[in-house]
Every structure is written in C-alpha cells, then in structure tokens.
Amino acid sequence: MYIIIVGAGRTGNAVIGRATAEGHDVVVIEEDPSVAETVSTEFDCEVLNADATSLDILKEAGAAEADAVIVTTADDSTNLMVTMLADKLEVESLVCSVNDPDSIDVFRELGVNIVESPHELNGRYLYRAVQRPAIKDFMQIGGGAEVFEITVSSGAPIAGKTLIEADSEGLLPEDTILVAIQREDGLHIPRGQTEVLEGDLLTVFSSDGATAEIVSPFTDSEETEE
C-alpha cells in the first residue's frame, strides 16, 4: 500500500513504525523540522518537512495516487483541513485521530474512519482495568454493546459447564454470546456441547456491555466486587 501519514508525534510515530515494518510505501508529512529529521533517520520512508494543510504539499506527497491518508496531529482543525483536502483528491481511505469528541460528527460527514483521542481511549482502558480487573481487553461497539476478553477463573460458576448447561442455569444472560475460546491447543469456536474450562480466554459479546452481572459467571466473587 501507498500510505501518507500526517504528523509524527507519539501516535504518528507508532503508525509509521508499523507501516514501514510491514513493507508499505510511506510518505510522512511533519511540520516540525527536528521531528521530521528524526523520522527520516529512524524509518525507511520519505519525509516532507512541510504543512500538510496545503493542497500543493499533499499533491507533492502523491495523495492523488495514495491508498490511504492517516492524520494524527494533536490539532483537530488541522486534521479536518487535511482530510478535506485528501477527500478532494479522492483518496480511497481516510483515517484520522480525533482529539475533541465534539468534532467526531464533522469528520463522520466526510466519511473518515475515526480513532478517538489516544488519551481518551487510554483513560477508558485504565478505568476499566480497575473497574473490571478480570477483563483483559474490550471494544465498545455502540449502543452500550461491548466485545471483551476475559479469563475464566478457578472459582467461576461457568467453569466445567457446557454452554447448554450454562444457559439452562441462567449463567449466560440474553444477548450475551460466547464468540471464541482460546486455549493452549489453539482457538475453539464454541458450540452447545463445548465445555468452558478454568483458564480459558473467552471472547464475549454483550449487548449490555461488560457489567458486573455479565462478568460474574466467568470470575469468582472477589473479582466482580464493585
């Protein structure tokens, strides 16, 4: 893929590292001269020390031929201007980090794939780690629904039971779906007769999110206390 990355701060740096490591053709546009110089020495990519809100600069970077433009600056007005220009150049895929949640709708109107502020996302993960320590990872889908990963503890009510047994005992609330089970021998797609074992890493969908009630069948009582 041919990817243009605008901004080389912490978020942009991580994207640059991943994209170049996977062998993509990358052009970075960074306004700060010292940051641009650092990127040019650390990564195998072309770097333009310039203002990406200029249509001419985006054209020079090859936006008209790019498969994607990823915008990662800390300023939403800059991000919006760049994505508008990239949209004008008919870039196929536009991805942008958004720092102010109030700006999200504006970006959506442009058809931009949005990543919320890394600080906001990190805050959610840190809070969830305290609120539900048994959860290893989670993703909010919308309308309160979440997909989360959780390890079955030794005292969990569901441990040792098949999904049919768990359902008959009311351990799996309505609109809670066990999507996958990861064990030492690999990934398992759960069926009715599949037994849930202590130590299983489960991927769970819940339309109500990872509430204490939803999480409790997979953990012992101490792990779900508020």
Same domain, yes or no: 8 and 106: yes
| Tally of domains in the chain | 2
pLDDT band at 74; cut points 50, 70, 90? confident
Residue 122 vs residue 66, higher pLDDT: 66
**Residue 31 falls within a domain, yes or no?**
yes
pLDDT band at 131; cut points 50, 70, 90? low
pLDDT band at 188; cut points 50, 70, 90? very high
Q: The domain that contains 192 carries what CATH number?
A: 3.30.70.1450
How high is the pLDDT of residue 109? 80
pLDDT band at 122; cut points 50, 70, 90? low
User: Domain of 110?
Assistant: 2-116
Same domain, yes or no: 12 and 91: yes
Boundary of a domain, candidates 81, 116, 151: 116
Q: What percent of the chain has pLDDT over 70?
A: 88
Measured between alpha carbons, how far is 106 from 130 in angstroms, rounded to an integer? 33
Measured between alpha carbons, how far is 74 from 81 in angstroms, rounded to an integer? 13
Which range, of 123-127, 141-145, 215-219, averages the lowest pLDDT?
123-127
Q: What percent of the chain has pLDDT over 90?
A: 58
Same domain, yes or no: 109 and 178: no
Q: The domain that contains 66 carries what CATH number?
A: 3.40.50.720
Query: What are the tokens at 173?
Result: 């609330």
**Residue 21 falls within a domain, yes or no?**
yes
Quick one: which of 143, 151, 120, 133 has its CA closest to 217?
151
Q: Which helix (H) or strand (E) is 162 found in, with range?
A: none
**Residue 177 falls within a domain, yes or no?**
yes
Cα–Cα–Cα angle for 99, 105, 111, rounded to 5 degrees: 100
Mean of the pLDDT values across residues 25-33? 97
How high is the pLDDT of residue 225? 46
Same domain, yes or no: 73 and 175: no
Q: Which helix (H) or strand (E) is 115 found in, with range?
A: strand 113-116
Mean of the pLDDT values across residues 41-56? 97
Cβ contact 149:137 at 8 Å? yes
Same domain, yes or no: 136 and 104: no
**Residue 207 falls within a domain, yes or no?**
yes
